[in-house]
Structure 1
Amino acid sequence: MAEAANVRQNLQNVPSIFEISAAETLDNLIYPALSKVFDYFGLRLDFKLWGNLHVREEVSPIITWILQYLYLRKRASSFGESFYGLQRTATATGELLTRQQQFTSATLLTFLPYIERKLRSRSAQHENTYAWESQLINLFHVYNASKAIHTFLYLIKYAKSHSPLFRALRLTLRYPSEPPKEDKWTYIFLKMLEVLAFFLQFIQWWYSNDQRRKLGGTLQNPQAMPERELPKELKNTLPKNGECPVCLLPLQTPTACAVSGYVYCWKCIVTHLKEQGTCPVTSYPITIEDLVRIYET
């Protein structure tokens, strides 16, 4: 009877895959939300390293790592896992994380998604990528496939860990048998961070491309300047109907900018986007996702 009770207690301490997925979603929300906030205030690392090497990078990954390490140190769980009441324990012994496991977990939680996001962004913008970057992207494909297999095995109760990273670190997620022991100020500080989770979700929704397009966009399309107000020397340089505003030649592979509505040659707008990151006519900031291919019928 005691053995049956122990088995039942262990089963009750095992979170469902839906709770684990929700915790991972919240963890993945931290970086993009912080990026939006820091970009708004212009907070970036900007300095010369040596020679012509200039470093201009975000501070979001550093803040994300500090936040995750703080939670792993105090509660043996990530930000998202703590929000859903989960805890990382050793698979074999059930003990809490060691100092090395805390450091490794925070690093993997922060920089693996960051590197994958950067690689996919460079690939989506058709930038010149190195061979090792393509190999890394393939490795991420293999990792995601392996994670899907682990998730399925965890779902059918065949595996103790839902992720290959957890298996490599010999960790698993469980509900804590007792609340974490922490002082009053640490508890208040971590609770305030958990409340900020709703703020992070709002930031992510506000800047979501899907929501922006669904609401019709946040930028107003610029009005064309009447021809009578244009200087005479500019009238002869304006593109005619069917011409690209960049190269002033007939459109080749016409591509519309969803932010401003102007149509360009695909090659012209992509080249300008790599160099400037804006719409050539309106100077609105755009990305490769804002370009829409136009097909004639």
Structure 2
Amino acid sequence: MAEHGAHLTTASVVDDQPSIFEVVAQEGLMTAVRPALQHVVKVLAESNPAHYGFFWRWFDEIFTLLDLLLQQHYLSKTSASFSENFYGLKRIVMGDTHRLQRLASAGLPKKQFWKSIIFLVLLPYLKVKLEKLVSSLREEDEYSIHPPSVSRWKQFYRAFLAAYPFVNMAWEGWFLVQQLRYILGKSKQHSPLLNLAGVQLSRLTVQDIQALAHQSTESSMTQQPAKSVNEKIKAALKKALGGVALSLSTGLSVGVFFLQFLEWWYSSENQETIKSLTALPIPPPPVHLDYNSDSPLLPKMKTVCPLCRKTRVNDTALATSGYVFCYRCVFNYVRSHQACPITGYPTEVQHLIKLYSPEN
């Protein structure tokens, strides 16, 4: 029992295997970076929807592209992802008898490199998209009015929604079992994705650190002369991509130290304190959107839907702006545009609020 307890906090000196705390911490790094950046983009989009709404609507794709550049740079230069290199780790090929002779600066072999890119960048993107799809299907299934006859498509996605929690539980359980095997010394990888990529994690050696420092110095002091226009263009593109990746990695390295502050700042306890200190009267609606003005966005009568220009049916308000529409009109608009039809504020389907009149 004492040997297993020692394995939890220390690694083997022979193979420099990192502890479970190191590998879990490096996994949590990129997990914390994404919501922090997403919150920054959301604040910008809400402050100026016309200029920054694009970044909010396409946040997943933009983040995936930046993540691809970042991970490609680190995997080719340090044989590790950004978070793994941040914690002084590298990826080595499983079963490679010469892994102690291969330096981190040499990069991963081509096969392991592309597998790592897929599991580090593409798989998280697909997982996020799948979770959003499941969430939207659940909201549509809960809030939409179902006809008496249900189509086969409705039956299929209802079965999909019913099976998804069990599939997700099996997925998370797979990772948990792998981590337990890693803690008990039964496996060389703490994650099944590393096993699928054909790599395992190891600590950086003194030779790795010296080679990485020498590589950084050499790349900044030496430049290869281009012999043709095509080579000049390729060199310029490579240098630009390297600069973008380096700038992004430096920015993320600095931003990591502010994640704990952001987590505290937006915690529920702190937000309640801020609300109590900044409790002010609710401002009136903008003059140009007042019902008594001549704005073309709003109808003259308050009982008319601004979208279909007919008497509202099944009144529904948007929590982000306060304007009232027909449920069917605003549901279809928000699902397509992710914005309020009047103000342009970023809006999701869950912001729809059903209004009940005294007659109902």
Per the shorter chain, which TM-score range? 0.5 to 0.7
Residue 127 of structure 2 aligns with an amino acid whose one-letter code is E
Please say if residues 69 and 103 of structure 1, whose CA atoms lie closer than 8 Å, have aligned partners that are also in contact: no
Q: 2:254 pairs with 194, 198, 212, which one?
A: 198
- Cα deviation, residue 230, structure 1: 0.7
Secondary structure in 2 matching 1:18: helix
1:184 maps to 216
Q: Does residue 84 of structure 2 align to residue 81 of structure 1?
A: yes
AA aligned to 2:301 is: T
Of 275, 282, 295, 2:343 maps to 282
TM-score by length of 2: 0.56
User: Which residue type is aligned with residue 124 of structure 1?
Assistant: S
Amino acid in structure 2 at the alignment position of 1:230: N
CA distance in structure 1 between the partners assigned to 2:72 and 2:53 by the alignment: 22
CA contact (8 A) 1:33 1:200 kept: no
Deviation at 1:200, TM superposition (A): 6.3
User: Is 1:113–2:124 an aligned residue pair?
Assistant: yes
User: Which structure shows the bigger proportion of residues in strand conformation?
Assistant: 1
Question: What is the one-letter code of the residue matched to 1:193?
Answer: S
The separation in 1 between residues aligned to 2:326 and 2:21, in whole angstroms, is: 45
1:9 aligned partner:
13
Give the superposition deviation at 1:177: 2.4
* Contact 1:255–1:292 (Cα < 8 Å) also in 2: yes
Q: Distance in 2 between matches of 1:186 and 1:192?
A: 21
Residue matched to 1:239 = 303
Alpha-carbon distance in 1 for matches of 2:122, 2:327: 33
More RCO (CA 8 Å, sep 6+): 2
SS in structure 1 of the partner of residue 92 of structure 2? strand
In structure 2, what is the Cα distance between the partners aligned to 1:284 and 1:42?
11
**Other-structure match for 2:203:** 175
- Report the secondary structure of 2:339's partner residue: coil
* TM-aligned CA deviation for residue 75 of structure 1: 1.1
Q: Is the 8 A contact 2:335 2:349 kept in 1?
A: no
In structure 1, distance between residues paired with 2:335 and 2:254: 34
Give the gaps of 5 or more residues in structure 2: 1-10, 46-50, 55-59, 103-107, 142-152, 221-242
Deviations along 1:224-250, whole A, 9 cap, x unmatched?
36899715997862139xxx8767446
Greater per-residue helix proportion: 2
Q: Distance in 2 between matches of 1:295 and 1:18?
A: 52
Q: CA separation in 2, counterparts of 1:155 and 1:69?
A: 29
The answer on whether the counterparts of 1:161 and 1:172 sit within 8 Å (CA) in structure 2 is yes
8 Å contact from structure 2 (residues 313, 327) kept in 1: no
Please identify the structure whose Cα radius of gyration is greater. Answer: 2
> Residues 105-145 of structure 1: CA distance to partner in whole angstroms, max 9, x if unpaired?
0222001001111122233223799979x599686654333
Deviation at 1:62, TM superposition (A): 3.0
